[in-house]
């Protein structure tokens, strides 16, 4: 049976427009938009009307970088697909793109099937996958073609983590060449992991074991060098490149220089690099471990370059790199040796709110908020206009956002399955009120009405910027 929902009286904000418009949703998709109070909108009939007066009506967020249930650092990320996608919905994100992992010696197929099984039937909102390549060889290069064919169209490679996910330059070049041929987008973790491991060993030998040393050994220059090298390898391969979790001003400069040459090079940063800094890594009593991630948090001076990069489009996307580990029992694995602290921060629930605060703080415009958090990640990863906008034919992934509500971020009230918040005590103006995923209410006026299993796998086309 056909169901029609009318979202009435809100300010519809997309990456391109701000309109006082009513939105008609039919059978899980946006059917039409019309000016509020117009004859066209007045003629619509609906089974249900949602009053959006005083609220923004925005596309559901697209978080293109999450790690639910990732086995990493001797433990596993604490959010399952069930808890992580529920938290995403609470935070106004209605699509995640998670990283399936190929283990060394195993096929891409096996890794991807493991991720399908983890997510299937458990998600509150829609999901897609990238594939982490840990073992580039003739067989896995061929498998890349099959994955692109089934809608897994992007592949993460690591210049960091030797012995775990690391690929050497030859493997990276081969994967880029394959991506250039099959349309797959290479996503790069750009840090010189070989050099970093030398510095880790030397720091530990000097007795420098605290979390802050994680930031000190993972040097800005080693992010910048790897970013530069990745760009040159992509040029040689004739491939586009997307650099993940950019944190250093010098890395942004490498991306900007490449883009000034007209190269198809893209960059993502994350809220932790925009809002946190090495000051957090220095928190006493091992509390700094809560902020250990890679690339690491940088001195706060880098934040201005990241905001500038987002404004000038040298950086295009803000994703979370959501990879939560509880402080108790997980981050604590690294007491006495910072290199054993599992790398990663929680954030899938906080991204839309933090970026809305950035609008209020004057860092970005309201439409740029939607562009970097919804529309561009959707386009970058072949999901647009199904996801990332509110337009006739789009999935009705819609958030009613109250721009005046006040909230204080806290582990006491968040929905992520992790025992601390990286943003504990931070005051934010703006809050998600209601969330629809394909027309179904998942959050209804701050009450969870969703269900595990509503979220479906979304096959993606290739990057839409090429
Ligand atoms: O510290 C991080 N970023 N953990 C997740 C894995 C990765 O490199 O993205
Ligand atoms: Zn990474
Ligand atoms: Zn990541």
- What is the distance between the alpha carbons of residues 411 and 422, in angstroms, rounded to a whole number? 9
Nearest CA to ligand 1 atom 3: 294
Distance 5 CA to ligand 3 centre (A): 36
- What is the distance between the alpha carbons of residues 182 and 148, in angstroms, rounded to a whole number? 7
- What is the distance between the alpha carbons of residues 338 and 251, in angstroms, rounded to a whole number? 24
Q: Report whether pLDDT(231) > 80.
A: yes
Distance 132 CA to ligand 2 centre (A): 10
Going from the C-alpha of 44 to that of each of 236, 389, 400, the distances in angstroms are 55, 22, 20
Quickly state the pLDDT bin for 307 (edges 50, 70, 90).
very high
**Contact between residue 320 and residue 271 where contact means Cβ atoms under 8 Å apart:** yes
Ligand closest to the CA atom of residue 190: 2
Record the tokens describing residue 367, joined without a space. Answer: 């439409």
For 340-374, the pLDDT digits (tens) are 999 999 999 999 999 999 999 999 999 999 999 99
Give the domain extent around 129: 60-380
Nearest CA to ligand 1 atom 2: 344
**Contact between residue 248 and residue 295 where contact means Cβ atoms under 8 Å apart:** yes
**Atom of ligand 1 minimally distant from the CA of 156:** 9
Q: Does residue 247 fall inside a structural domain? A: yes
Distance 323 CA to ligand 1 centre (A): 7
DSSP track, 124-191: SSEEEEEEE-SS--HHHHHHHHHHHHTT--EEEEESS-TTTTB--HHHHHHHHHHHHHH-PEEEEE--
Q: Report whether pLDDT(1) > 70.
A: no
pTM strictly above 0.85? yes
Ligand 1 pocket check: which of 65, 100, 323, 331 to mutate, most ligand atoms within 8 Å of Cβ?
Answer: 323
Q: Does residue 397 fall inside a structural domain? A: no
Ligand 1 neighbours by CB, cut-off 6 Å = 67, 189, 245, 293-294, 321, 323, 343-344
R_g over Cα of the chain = 21
Q: Does residue 393 fall inside a structural domain? A: no
For 372-405, the pLDDT digits (tens) are 999 999 999 999 999 999 999 999 999 999 999 9
**Atom of ligand 1 minimally distant from the CA of 161:** 8
Q: Does residue 296 fall inside a structural domain? A: yes
- Residue bearing tokens 């049976």: 1
Q: How many residues does the chain have?
A: 466
Over the range 252-265, which residues count as b (16 or more CB within 10 Å of their CB) and which as e? Answer: bbbbbebbeeeebb
**Contact between residue 62 and residue 19 where contact means Cβ atoms under 8 Å apart:** no
Q: Does residue 293 fall inside a structural domain? A: yes
Please count the helices (runs of H) and the strands (runs of E) in the chain: 15, 19
Ligand 1 pocket check: which of 75, 321, 340, 345 to mutate, most ligand atoms within 8 Å of Cβ?
Answer: 321
**Contact between residue 431 and residue 405 where contact means Cβ atoms under 8 Å apart:** yes
- Residue 388's pLDDT is 98
For 313-330, the pLDDT digits (tens) are 999 999 999 999 999 999
Ligand closest to the CA atom of residue 244: 2
C-alpha dihedral (251, 256, 259, 263), degrees to nearest 10: -20
Q: What is the pLDDT averaged over residues 99-105? A: 96
**Atom of ligand 1 minimally distant from the CA of 244:** 9
Ligand 1 pocket check: which of 344, 346, 347, 422 to mutate, most ligand atoms within 8 Å of Cβ?
Answer: 344
Distance 242 CA to ligand 2 centre (A): 12
Record the tokens describing residue 398, joined without a space. Answer: 């819609």
Nearest CA to ligand 1 atom 5: 344
Ligand closest to the CA atom of residue 319: 3
**How many Cα atoms sit within 13 Å of 379 on the Cβ side?**
15
Nearest CA to ligand 1 atom 8: 294
Count of structural domains within the chain: 1
The residue among 282, 422, 461 whose CA lies nearest residue 344 is 422
**Contact between residue 459 and residue 147 where contact means Cβ atoms under 8 Å apart:** no
Q: Report whether pLDDT(267) > 70.
A: yes
Distance 258 CA to ligand 2 centre (A): 21
Task: Provide the CATH number for the domain around residue 256.
Answer: 3.20.20.140
Distance 340 CA to ligand 1 centre (A): 14
Q: Does residue 224 fall inside a structural domain? A: yes
Distance 99 CA to ligand 3 centre (A): 8
- What is the distance between the alpha carbons of residues 21 and 398, in angstroms, rounded to a whole number? 14
- Residue bearing tokens 């793109």: 97
Average pLDDT along the chain: 98
Q: Does residue 11 fall inside a structural domain? A: no
Quickly state the pLDDT bin for 2 (edges 50, 70, 90).
confident
- Residue bearing tokens 């996307």: 317
Q: What is the pLDDT averaged over residues 123-142? A: 98
Ligand 1 pocket check: which of 226, 294, 339 to mutate, most ligand atoms within 8 Å of Cβ?
Answer: 294
Q: Does residue 14 fall inside a structural domain? A: no
DSSP track, 61-117: EEEEEE-TT-EETTEE-S--HHHHHHHHHHTTEEEEEEEEEPPTTS-HHHHHHHHHH
């Amino acid at each position: 049976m056909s169901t029609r929902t009318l979202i009435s009286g809100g300010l519809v904000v997309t990456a391109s427009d701000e309109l006082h418009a009513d939105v008609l949703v039919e059978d899980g998709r946006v059917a039409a938009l019309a000016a509020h109070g117009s004859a066209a909108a007045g003629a619509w009939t609906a089974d249900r009307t949602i009053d959006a007066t005083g609220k923004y009506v925005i596309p559901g967020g697209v978080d293109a970088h999450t790690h639910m249930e990732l086995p990493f650092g001797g433990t596993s990320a604490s959010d399952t697909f069930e808890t992580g996608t529920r938290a995403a919905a609470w935070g106004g994100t209605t699509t995640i793109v998670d990283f399936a992992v190929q283990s060394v010696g195993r096929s891409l197929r096996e890794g991807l099937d493991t991720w399908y099984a983890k997510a299937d039937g458990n998600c509150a909102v829609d999901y897609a996958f990238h594939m982490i390549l840990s073992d580039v060889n003739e067989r896995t290069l061929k498998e890349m073609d099959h994955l692109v064919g089934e809608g897994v169209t992007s592949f993460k490679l690591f210049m960091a983590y030797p012995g775990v996910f690391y690929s050497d330059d030859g493997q990276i070049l081969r994967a880029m060449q394959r991506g250039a041929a099959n349309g797959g987008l290479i996503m790069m973790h750009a840090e010189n992991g070989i050099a970093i491991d030398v510095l880790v060993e030397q720091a530990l030998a000097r007795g420098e074991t605290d979390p802050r040393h994680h930031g000190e050994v993972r040097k800005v220059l080693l992010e910048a060098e790897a970013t530069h090298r990745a760009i040159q390898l992509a040029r040689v391969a004739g491939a586009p490149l997307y650099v993940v979790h950019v944190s250093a001003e010098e890395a942004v400069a490498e991306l900007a220089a490449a883009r000034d040459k007209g190269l198809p090079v893209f960059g993502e940063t994350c809220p932790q690099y925009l809002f946190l800094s090495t000051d957090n890594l220095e928190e006493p009593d091992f509390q700094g471990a809560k902020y250990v991630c890679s690339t690491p948090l940088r001195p706060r001076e880098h934040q201005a370059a990241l905001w500038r990069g987002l404004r000038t489009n040298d950086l295009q996307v803000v994703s979370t790199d959501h990879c939560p580990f509880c402080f108790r029992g997980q981050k604590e694995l690294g007491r006495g040796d910072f290199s054993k602290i599992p790398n990663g921060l929680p954030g899938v629930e906080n991204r839309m709110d933090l970026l809305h605060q950035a609008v209020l703080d004057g860092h970005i415009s309201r439409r740029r908020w939607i562009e970097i958090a919804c529309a561009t990640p959707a386009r970058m990863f072949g999901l647009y206009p199904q996801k990332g906008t509110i337009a006739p034919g789009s999935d009705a992934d819609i958030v009613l956002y109250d721009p005046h509500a006040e909230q204080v971020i806290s582990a006491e009230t968040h929905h992520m399955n992790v025992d601390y918040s990286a943003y504990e005590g931070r005051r934010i103006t703006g809050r998600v009120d209601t969330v629809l995923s394909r027309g179904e209410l998942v959050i209804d006026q701050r009450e969870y009405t969703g269900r595990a299993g509503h979220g479906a796998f979304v096959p993606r086309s290739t990057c839409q910027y090429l």
